[in-house]
Structure 1
């Protein structure tokens, strides 16, 4: 690389167990020669962290999560920014946004941008937002204040829960935007005249952390009560993951089938899901592991027979893009069953390298689960095909090269 600039990457929170795809991208960019500093809107809440977080060298700079938590820091930044032209340049766009979004959150993002502008970290000369909703709002205001260009990575919830007017304006303000599913890519392109500035870039997987599984998944077929089929799911206990649908599907499985279900992840709906499992009579067959780090997750993939994820579009429009856990499970030859939502069919083709069913339908999901439970040969065929596709098409080095190339093209265009 002939030229580089320090990039301030604005994140909603860091580090986060549920966002390994971001962490591996940050590490990949560092290894490609990019100089990063991380700006987080909130501090970590997870008790554990993945090994990849310890390999990232970039310093982390935390903004006040809520303005009232650090009022003097915010007030000091305001007073220091008032005499500067950048503050007044950003004020008009903020007021225009506020007229269409009269919320405390709008003030909060502008206040966070003020602190970022005032306490500008480590001589950053470029801003990059991960998520096009709140992190991009802070980034866009700070970009105007500092006169520094910005770019954006959009994902799933941030696209589908943002209003079209706000997405359109952010797409116009950013130098370019990348997103990780074709459905998100097509939606964003429909909201801008500058379609060439929207790019599709699958996250992929760090295959060194998920090497080929040398062992064998079992021949369990659900007939042996002492050796039940092991069904795994990994994801936050939130509405879009559809765990209520998955539990209902499990409750519909024939009584003669022997299985156990294991969930890994934390989330606001954990208590409700535990109650539902008890109500459905599933509690003795369900294990709730909570959050685990990447090494433990890899071991659970290898010890399981089926991976299930019942993704849906939530009432507020929130949905997954392409869940990284499906890519991880596929890399370990674990047969997957999931739903026809967002980017999932971009990885899994029904009956070719997984089973794909409609969302919100416990009976159809139960039939797919029963089929996989009873047929270990089918599991082996689907799992082998899924691994081949992941290792051929979802290596994260491709996405890092693409992102790195986009940054380098900007360095070449401007002094």
Structure 2
């Protein structure tokens, strides 16, 4: 085993919306792996989760934009030019650039030069979270250094990356990843179809470390006439489908008293609030913004129903298997969601929750069904909790990932 840590490339650290990465890295440290994080971006969230504080690995921030630190980028490039694999890495990058003439592609190579030049001698491998930008930086730097690299793929990185780029990152030849993990069977099947060696792609569910969560509350039946407390957790972006949910809320019958709480930031915040005002439901909505894990858990324990109306965005982006569904299940919270991507890998319709089309009228109907049949809703919540404990524990995935990393000497 190398005395230098495994280099882990991430988009940004820490990020409230990526607890699955923090959970994995903390678990890998507990399994005996020595890690060092290299982040492409500085944090933008003002809060952190307690889980972030448990990670012992040091964090180094690469120049987010090359002009941010021209001297560092220049030094990195000069040093990288002397590395044994620089010529090959530059050739791979130029081939990519011909098909993707973007500033982002130039930035990836500059960050890779800095990374390759600053990694300590003896670094055994590079492991990237997300198969798009972080994996490109990891790939170029690993080729420069002549060391293996691997990745964990999730959702947007799979579905918005061009097939040519995925194929080359999944190749067995120069620049190809030693292995790849992805968190859904849906995503794994797609990557295996593109991979030169499908056996290099592992399905590794993130799972949920239930030791981080309290036992579920004793959920008494909702009092007659009390409001139905709806909760959603997710960024305000197109693929989460909250525009469809707001339209659905406006369709709920007058006899149903309800209030919706949303947790999460996102680029569409003002657009969603304007939509709620126009629909006449703004006074029944609480926008809490980004929250840390204890705040999220408290909101789940106080809610009656969790709603996540995920859909496929115009650019092809979509969810994988959102961890918030498992978190909701951990608190015996009934779930309404959609049969998009890998969500049916955890939720079976009418057994563990309700899965509907992402049409407002279907979402509204499911909410009314839950409100009208509390015993059935409670039974589905219990079934989801039982499945979470039996099939989606974090330990099996970490064991598989740990074994793969040790094969690379990390």
TM-score range normalised by the length of the shorter chain: over 0.9
Q: How does 1:293-308 map to 2 (within 5 A)?
A: 293-308=292-307
Q: CA deviation at 1:3?
A: 7.8
1:211 to 2:222 alignment: no
Q: Distance in 2 between matches of 1:304 and 1:121?
A: 48
Partner of 1:132: 131
Q: 1:4 to 1:307 in 2, by over 3 A?
A: farther
Work out whether residues 5 and 126 of structure 1, in 8 Å CA contact, stay in contact via their aligned partners in 2. no
Q: Secondary structure at the match of 1:405?
A: helix
Partner of 1:287: 286
Partner of 2:375: 377
Q: How does 1:125-164 map to 2 (within 5 A)?
A: 125-164=124-163
Q: 1:350 to 1:330 in 2, by over 3 A?
A: same
Q: How does 1:109-128 map to 2 (within 5 A)?
A: 109-121=108-120, 123-128=122-127
Q: Secondary structure at the match of 1:70?
A: helix
Q: CA deviation at 1:296?
A: 1.1
Partner of 1:182: 185
> TM-score, with normalisation over the residues of structure 1?
0.95
Work out whether residues 217 and 302 of structure 1, in 8 Å CA contact, stay in contact via their aligned partners in 2. no
> TM-score, with normalisation over the residues of structure 2?
0.96
Partner of 1:71: 70
Q: Distance in 2 between matches of 1:5 and 1:75?
A: 25
Q: 1:331 to 1:258 in 2, by over 3 A?
A: same
Work out whether residues 217 and 303 of structure 1, in 8 Å CA contact, stay in contact via their aligned partners in 2. no
Structure 2 unmatched runs, 5+: none
Partner of 1:22: 21
Q: CA deviation at 1:32?
A: 0.2
Structure 1 unmatched runs, 5+: none
Q: How does 1:79-90 map to 2 (within 5 A)?
A: 79-90=78-89
Partner of 1:366: 364
Work out whether residues 233 and 309 of structure 1, in 8 Å CA contact, stay in contact via their aligned partners in 2. yes
Partner of 2:351: 352
What does the per-residue CA deviation read over 1:319-373, in whole Å, with 9 as the maximum and x for residues that have no partner? 00000000100111100000010010000000001000112x1111110011111
Partner of 1:331: 330
Q: CA deviation at 1:102?
A: 1.0
Partner of 2:408: 410
1:200 to 2:215 alignment: no
Q: Distance in 1 between matches of 2:194 and 2:206?
A: 23
Work out whether residues 37 and 121 of structure 1, in 8 Å CA contact, stay in contact via their aligned partners in 2. no
Partner of 1:101: 100
What does the per-residue CA deviation read over 1:191-221, in whole Å, with 9 as the maximum and x for residues that have no partner? 023010011110001101123214225424x
Q: Distance in 2 between matches of 1:407 and 1:17?
A: 26
Is the deviation greater in 277-286 or in 399-408? 399-408
Q: Distance in 2 between matches of 1:38 and 1:244?
A: 36
Q: CA deviation at 1:122?
A: 7.4
Q: 1:390 to 1:5 in 2, by over 3 A?
A: farther
> RMSD of the alignment, in Å?
1.5
Q: 1:65 to 1:3 in 2, by over 3 A?
A: closer
Work out whether residues 9 and 129 of structure 1, in 8 Å CA contact, stay in contact via their aligned partners in 2. yes
Q: Distance in 1 between matches of 2:303 and 2:205?
A: 26
Q: Secondary structure at the match of 2:352?
A: coil
What does the per-residue CA deviation read over 1:79-123, in whole Å, with 9 as the maximum and x for residues that have no partner? 222333332221111111111111111110000000001111475
Q: Secondary structure at the match of 2:229?
A: strand
> What is the number of equivalent residue pairs in this alignment?
406
Partner of 1:248: 247
Q: Distance in 2 between matches of 1:193 and 1:89?
A: 20
